């Protein structure tokens, strides 16, 4: 699969062109405004255009407003510095959010991010 993405986003009514027949899209939502959020509407419109251009696409939605990431605490931080095979069950549970987020990011061909930076910062620091 060719990992290049050709975009024509600046300006009105310009199509998104891609070189994928299918792609994994990660849609990160971080606005707590729900359906009233313009950033969510914009992100959804981008995802819809990507899906229209790539019929075999899959979309994973990570909504940080409805499922926020926990703040870093000592137990979680220690678990992140422990190699995965050496983690205790408690450390595995503490690192699960971060491990899941990393897996979603690594699996994504395209990441669409919409919303205020505060929630997004917690996701990126997880």
33 within domain boundaries? yes
52 within domain boundaries? yes
76 within domain boundaries? no
State how beta strands 58-63 and 110-114 pair: unpaired
Say if residue 89's pLDDT is above 50: yes
Boundaries of domain holding 66: 24-70+108-125
pTM of the model: 0.69
84 within domain boundaries? no
Which DSSP category does 108 fall into?
Answer: -
38 within domain boundaries? yes
Q: Mean pLDDT, the chain, as a whole number?
A: 80
Mean pLDDT of the 20-36 span: 84
Instruction: Say what the pLDDT of residue 5 is.
Output: 45
57 within domain boundaries? yes
Instruction: Report the number of distinct structural domains present in the chain.
Output: 1
**Residue 76 and residue 4: Cα distance in Å, rounded?**
35
44 within domain boundaries? yes
């Amino acid at each position: 699969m060719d990992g290049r993405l050709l975009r024509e986003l600046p300006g009105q009514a310009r199509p998104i062109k891609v070189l994928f027949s299918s792609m994994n899209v990660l849609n990160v939502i971080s606005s707590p405004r729900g359906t009233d959020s313009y950033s969510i509407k914009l992100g959804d419109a981008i995802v819809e255009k990507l899906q229209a251009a790539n019929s075999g696409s899959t979309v994973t939605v990570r909504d940080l407003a409805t499922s926020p990431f926990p703040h870093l605490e000592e137990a979680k931080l220690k678990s992140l510095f422990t190699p995965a095979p050496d983690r205790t069950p408690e450390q595995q549970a503490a690192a699960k959010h971060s491990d899941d987020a990393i897996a979603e990011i690594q699996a994504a061909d395209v990441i669409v991010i919409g919303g205020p930076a505060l929630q997004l910062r917690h996701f990126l620091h997880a």
